[in-house]
Amino acid sequence: MKKSFQRVIATLNLFQGKQSLTIFMLAAFFALWGCDDSSSASGDNNETSAVESSSSVRDSDSTEESSSSIDKKSSGNETKDKSSSSENKSSSSIKETKNSSDSKSSSSVKSDDSSSSLSICPPEKEGKTKMVAFTGVTYICTDGYWIEVSSSSAASSSSYFDMTNQFNSDIKYGTHTDSRDGVTYKTITIKYGYYGVDSLTFFAENLNFGKMVQSSEQQGDSTKYCYDNDPWYCEHGFGGLYSWNTVMKFPAACNNASIGSDDCPSNYDYPKGSLSKHDVFHKGICDEGWHVMHEGEWALLWERAGISSVASAHGSYVFVLKPTYFGLNKSGFSILPAGRFVPSEGGFSDLGEGARFWRPEQDEENSQKASFIYVPRLGDDFSLQRVAVKENAYSVRCVKDYKPEN
């Protein structure tokens, strides 16, 4: 009996030892399982809250064309040398801030991350934009950080671009004060040597005449659009954007009708002299004694550029889209890539990428289109004879009237 009792006690002790071991193993298992779950949950949060999440972000690099191909393609009903092509280089929301400390404010970026730290962007993304698909928020890479475009720090009303080097400080400029509104423009004189004319005097700035109206309104006489419906652009060198009929001072009906027709009885001002049919002296929206630059005058600038690109010789040295610049402005002509407004696309685009200037010539094949000059950024091809629908809004340059000899 005593031995039997001792065997029972031994069995109970063994059972208790095994039970303790089992409980210990179960506890360890659950502890490890809990750690793994916590770790994976943290990883999910990092992915959804990060601005750079590849699954939820549409990057402008992957959806937009590179600047090197912009002259070969065209959009907004534009045609290069009267051939169909398309451009799509949207930049309507890109505004560069001067104050990097403002740009790096932690309140600028909406994030689920409790630390409110900004997401870093690589140097090659500088100036590029991306959108988080889940929230619809667009960000711009500024000074190494993704900044929300709609935030006050990314679009301050007092700081978009540094215009310090808009003009060439080594060039001696003249001036012209518009008799209609008192605005003074810098002018530049370039040797000509044709038709008995020694030199030509041009505006060294884009025209900025007229009252600003919203892009949702139709332009009328003495009105203009400002890029992004923001007067800052008009007031800081980029000038107004005008439809073709506004530039020509024709009725709005002329946007859809041929000049000289019953619907558009207007016509160009032709000069006296031995100029070609493309060299039209049409005053249009320019001040008295000045006219809208025609093809021959733009061709002069092309010729003066020599082996350089037109942007290199005549484009303003402004860092419109960091870290690149538009031109070297050797001549002082100071072309600025003011972008465009295309009604059919419903918005502004191409700021910093290209400059477009209407010229007084309707397309011979389509009366709803007219000719314009396209100046791309440094290194790309200049185009003297593009056409686009007249409703598009582009820039204007004026040149002082002169008297060519027969």
Annotate 319-345 with DSSP letters as a single string: -SBTTB-S---SSS--B----EEEGGG
Per-residue model confidence as pLDDT tens digits over 225-251: 999 999 999 999 999 999 999 999 999
Task: Answer whether residue 158 shows pLDDT above 50.
Answer: no
Where does the pLDDT of residue 146 fall: very low under 50, low under 70, confident under 90, or very high at 90 and above?
confident
pLDDT of residue 170: 95
Q: Would you place residue 94 in the very low, low, confident or very high pLDDT band (cuts 50, 70, 90)?
A: very low
Residue 213 DSSP label: -
Q: Please say whether the beta carbons of 167 and 332 come within 8 A.
A: yes
Mean model confidence pLDDT for the chain: 73
Check residue 47 and give left, alpha or beta (phi > 0: left; psi -120 to 50: alpha).
alpha
Q: Please determine, for residue 207, whether its predicted confidence score (pLDDT) is greater than 90.
A: yes
Which amino acid is present at 134? Answer: F
Helix (H) or strand (E) holding 189: strand 184-194
CA distance readout (Å), 194 to 198, 257, 261, 279, 300: 7, 34, 34, 12, 10
The pLDDT value recorded for residue 357 is: 98
Per-residue pLDDT of 42-54, as tens digits, reads 333 322 223 333 3
* 285, 249 Cβ separation under 8 angstroms: yes
- Determine the residue type at 370: A
Report whether 150 contacts 137 (CB < 8 A).
yes
What is the rounded distance in angstroms from the CA atom of residue 400 to the CA atom of residue 386?
24
Beta bridge partners of 185: 176
Tokens describing residue 285: 């929206």
What's the token pair of residue 115?
């630390």
Extended beta strands in 345-406, E state: 347-349, 354-362, 369-376, 383-389, 398-400
User: Among 346, 343, 375, which Cα is nearest to 358's?
Assistant: 375
> Does residue 151 carry a pLDDT above 60?
no
**Omega within 30 of 0 (cis) for the link into 265:** no
The answer to whether the Cα torsion of 221, 227, 228, 234 is positive or negative is: negative
**pLDDT at residue 336 in the model:** 94
User: Which DSSP state fits 241?
Assistant: B
Lowest mean pLDDT among 36-40, 202-206, 352-356, 393-397: 36-40
- pTM for this predicted structure: 0.65
- The pLDDT of residue 201 is 97
Q: Is the pLDDT of residue 99 over 80?
A: no
> What pLDDT score was predicted for residue 160?
78
**What are the b/e assignments for 210-234, b being 16+ CB within 10 Å?**
bebeebeeebeeebbbbbbbbebbb
Please list, in sequence order, all residues whose beta carbon lies within 8 angstroms of the beta carbon of residue 161, skipping any fewer than 6 positions away.
Answer: 95, 96, 236, 318, 319, 320
pLDDT for the residue numbered 18: 45
pLDDT given for residue 128 in this prediction:
67
- For residues 37 and 45, what is the distance between their CA atoms, to the nearest angstrom? 13
Contact call for residues 231 and 224 (beta carbons, < 8 A): no
State the pLDDT at residue 383: 87
Encode pLDDT of 118-141 as tens digits.
Answer: 688 888 777 666 666 556 566 777
Residue 217, C-beta contacts closer than 8 angstroms, at least 6 positions apart: none
Quickly state the pLDDT bin for 274 (edges 50, 70, 90): very low
Give residue-wise pLDDT tens across range 10-36.
444 444 444 444 444 444 444 444 444
The tokens describing 2, both together, are 């005593």
**Banded model confidence at residue 406, pLDDT cuts 50, 70, 90:** low
Residue 251, class by beta-carbon neighbours within 10 Å (0-12 exposed, 13-18 middle, 19+ buried)? Answer: middle
**Which pLDDT does position 319 carry in this prediction?**
79
**pLDDT band, very low/low/confident/very high, at 147 (cuts 50, 70, 90):** confident
Ramachandran region, residue 9 (left: φ > 0; alpha: ψ -120 to 50; beta: rest): alpha
Question: Of 306, 296, 330, 318, which Cα lies nearest the Cα of 377?
Answer: 318
Torsion of CA 157, 163, 166, 167, to 10 degrees: 120
State the Cα–Cα distance between residues 257 and 389, nearest whole angstrom: 11
Domain range list for the chain: 97-159, 174-400
Residue 306, Cβ neighbours under 10 Å: how many?
Answer: 10
How do residues 302-321 score in pLDDT, each as one tens digit? 999 887 889 889 999 987 77
10 Å Cβ neighbour count for 194?
Answer: 14
d(CA 229, CA 212): 8
pLDDT in tens, 331-360: 999 999 999 999 998 899 999 888 999 999
